[in-house]
């Protein structure tokens, strides 16, 4: 397959080194262009947790000594050289060293400093690693879905730089399809394992008509921004943002505003008035005082005619009075409640990961078989083309002889038949003699039985 992956991640390298090896922005485009010199296509995946180079090692010409054997194995003709040859283990190792040295030089770091942290995978091991990464099985947060989108963006960059060869593009398509199967057929990504995802999951468990629901965001800090983004992304029809700083609130409003979603900004002083309009409340202010108390909530519920409310309090100290949890029709979750949910979900993901790893192993075997079938199809095309050229050459020589005076058609046709037979049987005959001489009975049986089956097929 000639696929290799070279990289570092959160398991093998400290964040300080990962930062220095990161390939982002224009660096990626330049790197892809430079890697063309010694790869048959490459993709660079660089995130906060990993920097990886996926590349195909170039094919190398077969040596004269190995040509006949490879030609016969690839069903080639009597030429002493094979059509094409896979690079040897030594050649692959040499190219891996080139990529390592290039990376060290590109990032202006000593190879001796980064080499202990680099991992290398080859062929099906590289394919397995790529699929595990794409499926979220190698992520810091098990099963997280963002990495697949990051890989897709990396592939698009490689396409833009014309660094994605046809063969590597085919492998990428197989990886994406297999990663989708892993996520669809197992539960490795089914449960929320971040606060923002857990909050969004709670919303879907309580409300089903989200376009008719209103989200109230109390404070526009980073955590609430993530929660608001995830909940709004579920299709909530209206968002109200209450914040002390109007500029930060307007910035968040700009992120959340869509043609199908109305977003309003209110001052924190207006919170008691707008609370009754909210079906979902997410609060994370950093205030030392309670922002939503029991009296305010009871008043809001009455105004809402006691329609259910979901309140998510991510603040420490808490923004929402904990006694509100005793009120009917109010579902109050604190940050500790969400952490308990996440802990249980992580354990479920770990259990699902066992099934996912088994499926990955099966899918890699299937992908490798498809690759071999695809590859042998190209070799068969090349074999037929070369066979046609040799037969055409012999035929033209025979036609030329037939046009000579005193030519014997019978002798010329007999000679043509003999030369065709010799041409088409030379390489497999040589391979059988070599296998017998070296005691390679497995190869000998394979070639003999294959030829016998081919002759039986013709007779039938």
Catalytic residue IDs: 48
* The three-state (H, E, C) secondary structure of the chain, written as one string: CCEEEEEEECCCCCHHHHHHHCCCCHHHHHHHHHHHHHCCCEEEEECCCEEEEEEECCCECCCHHHHHHHHHHCCCCCCCCCCCECCCHHHHHHHHHHHHHHHHHHCCCCHHHHHHHCEEEEHHHHHHHHHHHHCCCCCCCCCCCHHHHHHHHHHHHHHHCCCCCHHHHHHHHHHHHHHHHHHHHCCCCCCCCCHHHHHHHHHHHHCCCHHHCEEEEECCCHHHHHHHHHHHHCCCCEEEEEECCHHHHHHHHHHHCECCEEEEEEEHHHHHHHHHHCCEEEECCCCCCCCECHHHHHHHHHHCCCCCEEEEECCCCCCECHHHHHCCCEEEEEHHHHHHHHHHHHHHHHHHHHHHHHHHHHHHHHHHHHHHHHHHHHHHHHHHHHHHHHHHHHHHHHHHHHCCCCCCHHHHHHHHHHHHHHHHHHHHHHHHHHHHHCCCHHHHHHHHHHHHHHHHHHHC
Tell me how far apart the alpha carbons of residues 437 and 419 are, in angstroms, rounded to a whole number: 26
Kindly tell me the burial class for residue 57, based on how many C-beta atoms sit within 10 Å of its own C-beta (0-12, 13-18, 19 or more): buried
Give the angle subtended at the CA of 363 by the CAs of 358 and 364, to the nearest 5°.
Answer: 100
């Amino acid at each position: 397959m000639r696929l290799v992956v070279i990289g570092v991640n959160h398991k093998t390298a400290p964040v300080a080194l990962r930062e220095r090896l990161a390939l982002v922005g224009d660096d990626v485009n330049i790197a892809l262009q430079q890697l063309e010199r010694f790869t048959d296509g490459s993709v660079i995946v660089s995130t906060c947790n990993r920097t990886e180079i996926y590349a195909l090692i170039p094919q190398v010409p077969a040596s004269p000594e190995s040509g006949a054997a490879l030609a016969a194995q690839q069903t080639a003709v009597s030429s002493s050289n094979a059509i094409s040859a896979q690079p040897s283990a030594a050649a692959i190792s040499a190219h891996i060293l080139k990529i390592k040295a290039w990376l060290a030089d590109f990032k202006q770091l000593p190879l001796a400093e980064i080499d202990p942290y680099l991992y290398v995978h080859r062929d099906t091991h590289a394919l397995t690693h790529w699929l595990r990464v794409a499926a979220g099985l190698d992520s810091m947060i098990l099963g997280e879905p963002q990495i697949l989108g990051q890989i897709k963006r990396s592939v698009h960059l490689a396409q833009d730089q014309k660094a994605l060869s046809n063969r590597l593009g085919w492998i990428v398509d197989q990886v994406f399809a297999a990663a989708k199967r892993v996520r669809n057929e197992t539960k490795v990504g089914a449960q929320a394992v971040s606060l923002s995802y857990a909050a969004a999951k709670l919303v879907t468990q309580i409300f089903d008509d989200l376009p008719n629901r209103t989200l109230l965001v109390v404070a526009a800090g980073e955590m609430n921004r993530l929660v608001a983004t995830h909940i709004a992304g579920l299709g909530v029809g209206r968002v109200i943002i209450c914040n002390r700083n109007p500029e930060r609130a307007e910035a968040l409003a700009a992120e959340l505003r869509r043609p199908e979603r109305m977003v309003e900004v209110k001052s924190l002083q207006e919170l008691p008035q707008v609370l009754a309009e909210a079906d979902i409340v997410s609060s994370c202010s950093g205030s030392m005082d309670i922002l939503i108390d029991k009296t305010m909530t009871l008043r809001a519920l009455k105004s809402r005619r006691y329609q259910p409310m979901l309140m998510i309090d991510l603040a420490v100290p808490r923004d929402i009075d904990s006694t509100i949890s005793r009120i009917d029709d109010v579902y109050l979750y604190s940050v500790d409640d969400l952490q308990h949910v996440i802990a249980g979900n992580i354990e479920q993901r770990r259990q699902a990961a066992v099934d996912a790893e088994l499926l990955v192993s099966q899918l890699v075997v299937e992908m490798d078989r498809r690759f071999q079938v695809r590859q042998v199809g190209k070799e068969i095309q090349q074999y037929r083309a070369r066979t046609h050229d040799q037969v055409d050459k012999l035929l033209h020589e025979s036609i030329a002889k037939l046009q000579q005076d005193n030519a014997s058609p019978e002798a010329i046709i007999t000679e043509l038949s003999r030369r065709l037979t010799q041409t088409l049987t030379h390489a497999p005959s040589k391979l059988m003699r070599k296998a017998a001489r070296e005691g390679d009975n497995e190869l000998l049986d394979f070639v003999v039985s294959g030829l016998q089956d081919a002759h039986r097929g013709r007779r039938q």
